[in-house]
């Protein structure tokens, strides 16, 4: 993880199938997810609590002719300078919240339909970000550092 590992954008989708709304900060609730997001629920499965994607992935997509705004990925957090796959199975801090990387967040046909980007599933395969479990509640803000703990 580089010294400049940070959150560059936060997006929540309040309703299933709805549009992503950018925000500067969000409350991460242990075992539940991000308050205000469609997947927020008491005892939410770990892979439904938090999703992250790298800004570097979005930049690579754009260079390949598939420009997506950060919220269009339907991932909640966009990070820069973070090896997201390197966080799988590890604990890490994002702002005040402690999290654990659970599994890769592979793209789905639903995402390709919503964005109307033909070939997006293939373009994001094995680099669609990660799912994470929220272990300790806290606020996450744009520009917060991402720090591996173990």
Please give the CATH superfamily to which domain 6-148 belongs: PK beta-barrel domain-like (2.40.33.20)
Q: Which residue's structure tokens are 């991932």? A: 75
Q: How far apart are the first and last CA of the chain?
A: 12
pLDDT in tens, the chain (150 residues): 555 799 999 999 998 878 899 999 999 999 999 999 999 999 999 888 999 999 999 898 888 888 787 787 778 999 999 999 999 999 999 999 999 999 998 776 666 666 666 666 676 766 788 999 999 999 999 999 999 998
84 vs 130: CA distance, rounded Å: 7
Of the candidates 86, 22, 28, 23, the one whose C-alpha atom is nearest the C-alpha of residue 54 is 86
Sequence spans of domains, the chain: 6-148
92 vs 95: CA distance, rounded Å: 10
Q: What is the pLDDT of residue 97?
A: 98
Q: Which residue's structure tokens are 């989708």? A: 13
Q: What are the distances in angstroms from CA 22 to CA 13, 15, 77, 122?
A: 9, 14, 10, 26
């Amino acid at each position: 993880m580089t010294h400049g590992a940070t959150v560059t954008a936060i997006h929540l989708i309040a309703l299933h199938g709805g549009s992503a709304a950018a925000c500067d900060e969000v409350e991460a609730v242990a075992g539940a997810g991000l308050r205000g997001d469609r997947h927020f629920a008491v005892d939410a499965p770990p892979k439904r609590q938090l999703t992250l994607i790298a800004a570097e992935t979005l930049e690579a997509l754009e260079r390949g002719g598939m420009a997506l705004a950060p919220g269009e990925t339907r991932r909640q957090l966009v990070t820069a300078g973070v090896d997201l796959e390197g966080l799988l199975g590890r604990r890490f801090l994002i702002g005040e919240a402690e999290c654990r990387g659970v599994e890769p967040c592979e793209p789905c046909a639903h995402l390709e339909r919503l964005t109307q980007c033909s070939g997006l599933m293939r373009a994001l395969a094995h680099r669609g970000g990660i799912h994470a479990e929220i272990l300790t509640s806290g606020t996450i803000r744009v520009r917060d550092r991402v720090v591996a703990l173990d």
